[in-house]
Amino acid sequence: MLFGYGPLIAGGIWVTLRLTFGALLFAVLLGIAGALARTSRSRAAHVTAGVYSTVIRGLPELVLMLSVFYGGQYVLNQFVALLGLQTINVSPMMAGTLTIGFIYGAYLSETFRGAIMAVAPGQIDSAKACGFNRRQVITNVVLPQMLRHALPGVANTWLVMIKASALVSIIGLNDMVHRANLAASSTRAPFTFYMTVAAIYLSMTSVSLIGLHLIERRSSKGVRYAAL
């Protein structure tokens, strides 16, 4: 049915998942840092995080990806040339991972900021009364509870990032979409391959929904009963 290109398309699944997992990790780290900056007492940190969130969420993902892959690579090599170092080649995998993570880190910073604000102030006051410093309050009280509140938003971001990973084929990443393009060009059967890739993406998001639902239920275990 796939003219012998089935294994080629299947091999792109791992590329897509590796890209998305790496981007999610980067986005979560940026999101937590941005949220802590937005809720900190430092005006400079608050403004910097606010500008990052506003600007990145207002720019098209494809424009940012092309800018990082081409413009970012040019600027980086101009800098290393001044230092007398060898030219650095940014791979499509690295560019895609950093760009998608950088983009969705802005969205997650707002998700985590809302989750931090959802933590009961009394819990923070109680921790301070027990002698916790700011770092201990954040790591032992705020972050564990914040993650539970943020889980639905993180889950939604993960689903969007899976689909956004298809954009990286534009810069030459050998993922499912790129391989489907090659197969469609060779066989002149674009509908067959694009619908196959669409079905794979739908399967990936469906399995993710089931897994994320189970994680969310487990993280909320006991909370519903405590609220009754």
The predicted structure's pLDDT at residue 224: 54
* Residue 5 and residue 187 in contact, taking contact as beta carbons nearer than 8 Å: yes
Domains of the chain (ranges plus CATH)?
6-227 (1.10.3720.10)
Burial string for 90-111 (b: 16+ CB within 10 Å, else e) reads bebbbbbbbbbbbbbbbbbbbb
Confidence of residue 143 (pLDDT cuts 50, 70, 90): confident
* Mean pLDDT within 126-154: 84
* Range with top average pLDDT, 64-73, 83-92, 142-151, 153-162: 153-162
In this prediction, residues 161-173 reach a mean pLDDT of 89
Q: What pLDDT was estimated at residue 69?
A: 80
Pick the range with the lowest mean pLDDT from 99-113, 157-171, 194-208, 211-225: 211-225
Which of 2 and 210 is assigned the larger pLDDT? Answer: 210
pLDDT tier, 228 (very low <50, low <70, confident <90, very high otherwise): very low
DSSP for residue 110: H
Query: Residue with structure tokens 């699944």?
Result: 13
pLDDT exceeds cutoff 50 at 120: yes
Predicted TM-score (pTM) of the model is: 0.86
pLDDT at 188 over 60: yes
Mean pLDDT of the chain, nearest integer: 87
Residue in the block written with tokens 């275990």: 221
Asked whether 166 and 201 are in contact (CB, 8 A), the reply is yes
Tens digits of per-residue pLDDT, 47-87?
999 999 988 888 888 888 888 788 877 888 888 888 888 88
In this predicted model, what pLDDT tens digit does every residue of 192-219 receive, in sequence order?
999 999 999 999 999 999 998 888 888 7
Query: Could you tell me the maximum CA-CA distance found in the chain, to the nearest angstrom?
Result: 70
Tokens linked to 166: 């298809």
H or E segment at 12? helix 6-38
Does residue 5 register a pLDDT over 90?
no
pLDDT score for 28: 94
Q: What is the pLDDT of residue 223?
A: 62
